[in-house]
Amino acid sequence: MLNSQYTGRFAPSPTGHLHLGSVYTALASFLEARTHQGLWRLRFDDLDTPRNVSGAANHIQQTLETLGLHWDGEVDYQSWHLDDYHAVLMDLIAKQQVYRCQCSRKDLTSIYAQTCRNQHIPANDPHSLRLKTDNREIIFDDYLHGQISQNLAMQHGDFILKRKDNIIAYQFAVVLDDIRQEVNHIVRGIDLLDSTPKQIYLQQLLKLPIPHYLHVPILVDAKGHKLSKSTLATAVDLTTPNRVLFQLLRWLKQNPPLELENEKVDNILKWAIEHWDVARLKSIEQILI
C-alpha cells in the first residue's frame, strides 16, 4: 500500500478553529495513512464562502502542526479549482444529466420528487442544478460497518451539484478533489456515511476510480449532540497537546498506556502508529465524551 493516499479535509469554520470532533477524525485518518505507509494530504473545503473566516486556514494548520499531524505535499484549497468544477458541470449539462431546479428547502421532503426534472426553467431565473439519478443500487464495503447498499432514486432522489447561490455542492466537489489529489483511501466521520453513495454514483457516472471508504465514530456530548462547528464546539486546548492526543487515542479505543500521557507529542504518535488498530472501532457510531 505504498502508493495509498489519504486526505485530511477541513472546512474553515465560523469560529475559525479546530474542535475535538474535527481533530478526532483527523487523527484517525492520519494514523490509518501512516500505518500503511500512505501519504496524508491536507485540503481546505472553502467553497462555501459565506462561512469562511479570515485566518482560519492558518489556525487549523498551526493546530495540526502542534499536534504533530504533519501532512504530505502542498496544502490544497477547493477555491483554486473552480474552473475544473465548472468544466465538468458544463459537460454534464451538455449530456442532459443535470437540470435546473427552483425548489426551496421548505418545498422539499427527505426524498426529492423530481418536481423540476421535466420543467423548462429559464437560465436567467434563480436555480440550482440537480443530477438525475436512476434506480441502480449503490453497494460498497465500509471496513468498520460492512456492506452498505442504497438506491439513490428511491432513498434520496436527484441531488444538487450547484446551489442557487452558485456555490458548488460538497457532494460534487469532493469527488473531483479526490481524483485531483489521487486520494484512494477516505477516512471520515460516520455522519458522512449517507453522502458516500451519492459520491460513488458520481464516480460511476464520470467513469472515475472508486476509493476505499472507512467511516469512524463521531464524538457526542452528554445530550447526544455531535461536536461540530454548527454547535460552536470549543477550540482544542493546545497548552498540553500531548494530553489532547492521549485522550483522543482513548476515544479511538486504542488503550494507550497511562505513562504515555506525559510523553512528548512525537513519542505519543510513534506509539500510536505502531499500535494502531482501527478494528477496535467496528460497528461503533458514537463516542460519548
**Which of 133, 150, 170 is where one domain is finished?**
170
User: Rounded distance, CA 107 to CA 60, Å?
Assistant: 37
Could you tell me if residue 176 is inside a domain?
Answer: no
Within 13 A of 249's CA, how many CA atoms are on the CB side? 26
**Which of 141, 170, 199 is where one domain is finished?**
170
User: Rounded distance, CA 139 to CA 38, Å?
Assistant: 25
- 30 and 113 both lie in a single domain: no
Q: Please list the residues that pair with 215 across neighbouring strands.
A: 188
User: Rounded distance, CA 263 to CA 118, Å?
Assistant: 63
Domain that holds residue 207: 5-80+181-288
Q: What is the pLDDT of residues 67-94, one digit of tens each?
A: 999 999 999 999 999 999 999 999 999 9
Give residue 2's pLDDT band: very low, low, confident or very high (50, 70, 90).
very low
> For 110, which DSSP code?
S
- 92 and 161 both lie in a single domain: yes
SS3 category, 97: coil
pLDDT average, residue stretch 111-127: 91
- 63 and 73 both lie in a single domain: yes
Residue 243 has pLDDT above 90, yes or no: yes
**Which of 150, 170, 190 is where one domain is finished?**
170
Q: What is the pLDDT of residues 206-221, one digit of tens each?
A: 999 999 999 999 999 9
Supply the pLDDT for residue 229: 63
Mean confidence (pLDDT) of the chain: 92
> Which grid cell sits at 75?
496544502
- 138 and 188 both lie in a single domain: no
Supply the pLDDT for residue 53: 83
Give residue 1's pLDDT band: very low, low, confident or very high (50, 70, 90).
very low
- 100 and 66 both lie in a single domain: no
Lowest mean pLDDT among 104-118, 143-157, 268-282: 104-118
> CA-CA distances (angstroms) from residue 37 to 30, 54, 107, 265, 274?
10, 34, 48, 20, 11
235 or 197: which carries more pLDDT confidence?
A: 197
% pLDDT > 90, the chain: 79
SS3 category, 75: coil
**Angle of helix 241-251 relative to helix 265-275, nearest 10 degrees?**
20
> Which grid cell sits at 70?
504533519
How many distinct structural domains can be found in the chain? 2
